[in-house]
Chain A
Amino acid sequence: MKMIRAFIRPEKEQEVVLALEGAGFPSLTKMPVFGRGKQKGLQVGPVHYDELPKTLIMTVVATEDVGKVIGIIEGKAKTGFIGDGKIFVSPVDAVYTVRTGEAVL
């Protein structure tokens, strides 16, 4: 299993989530975060925004579905401008469902 953490534009969150739901991946956790990238924030005239708001979407999927999920997130979150976000994939050893206590996703 793999954990996918996607940092996306807050306004794209609903589209991404509904697209994932349509493809059979309804489960996720989201949280608001602030960050910056290579461009060190955003310069609008004389005003410099150092940390920009993003939405972090965290989901754990089977290893064989990783490519599919990344493709969906990329397809919906992409605008072609800087600040579209990043996707990170990390390994997960075990998953437990608290209600049943079973070690299944």
Chain B
Amino acid sequence: MKEITAIIRRDKLPETKNALDELGYPAMTIQSVDGRGKQKGAMCAEMDSEMPESFCTTVKLKPTPSTYALEHTLPKVALYVPKRMLTLIVPDDVVSKLVKSIIKVNQSGKRGDGKIFVSPIEGALRVRTGEMDGEAIS
């Protein structure tokens, strides 16, 4: 079993869900997270070309309150971009298929498309029936 953690744009979530539905793996956990990449969260136009520059600084980014920064004598505030995080637990043999599908749906070619992490999972249990491991996620 593998865990696929995909951090994607918020507006691509419905399309991603549909794509995973079609492949037969609709089960997932969705979380609303804030994140930043190599650009340190400070990018607007590159991230979303349709968003006006003035708009994205107020809506898309969540800076820390300046009062906090002053109190703690931080050199600057850390910026974040809101994202959606999907977590799927799937059998080993379909990992590459699902990863390709997620990449295909989410790829816009601009920075901020997200990252996908694949990590091993040792065990699983379906609480309702008590099924273990492979049966629990089928």
A interface residues (Cβ-Cβ under 8 A, vs B): 3, 13-15, 17-18, 21, 26-31, 60, 90-99, 101
Whether A14 contacts B106 in the complex (CB less than 8 A), given A31-B34, A92-B119, comes out as no
Whether A93 contacts B110 in the complex (CB less than 8 A), given A18-B74, A31-B34, comes out as no
A96 with B103: CB separation less than 8 A: yes
Whether A99 contacts B64 in the complex (CB less than 8 A), given A26-B37, A27-B37, A93-B118, comes out as no
CA distance A93 to B119 in the complex (A): 5
Asked whether B69 is an interface residue with its Cβ less than 8 Å from the other chain, the reply is yes
- Dominant secondary structure at the B interface: mixed
Interface residue stretch chosen among B20-28, B77-85, B128-136: B77-85
A98 with B77: CB separation less than 8 A: no
B interface residues (Cβ-Cβ under 8 A, vs A): 2, 6-8, 31-40, 64, 68-69, 72, 74-78, 80, 83, 85, 99, 102-103, 106-120
Shortest CB-to-CB span from A27 to chain B, Å, is: 5
22 contacts between A and B (CB under 8 A): A3-B117, A14-B72, A17-B36, A18-B74, A18-B75, A18-B78, A26-B40, A27-B36, A29-B33, A30-B35, A60-B115, A91-B119, A92-B119, A93-B2, A95-B116, A95-B117, A97-B113, A98-B6, A98-B107, A98-B113, A99-B111, A99-B113
Q: Which residues does chain B contribute within 8 Å of A94, judged by CB atoms?
A: 99, 116-118
Shortest CB-to-CB span from A77 to chain B, Å, is: 13
Q: Which residues does chain A contribute within 8 Å of B119, judged by CB atoms?
A: 3, 90-93
Question: How many residue-residue contacts, CB under 8 A, span A and B?
Answer: 92
Shortest CB-to-CB span from B100 to chain A, Å, is: 8
Q: Which of A17, A26, A29, A101: most chain B CB closer than 10 A?
A: A29
The residue in chain B whose Cβ has the minimal distance to the Cβ of A2 is B119
A28 with B77: CB separation less than 8 A: no
A96 with B99: CB separation less than 8 A: yes
Q: Which residues does chain B contribute within 8 Å of A13, judged by CB atoms?
A: 78
Q: Which residues does chain A contribute within 8 Å of B74, judged by CB atoms?
A: 14-15, 18
Shortest CB-to-CB span from A30 to chain B, Å, is: 5
The residue in chain B whose Cβ has the minimal distance to the Cβ of A56 is B33
CA distance A64 to B114 in the complex (A): 23
The residue in chain A whose Cβ has the minimal distance to the Cβ of B104 is A101
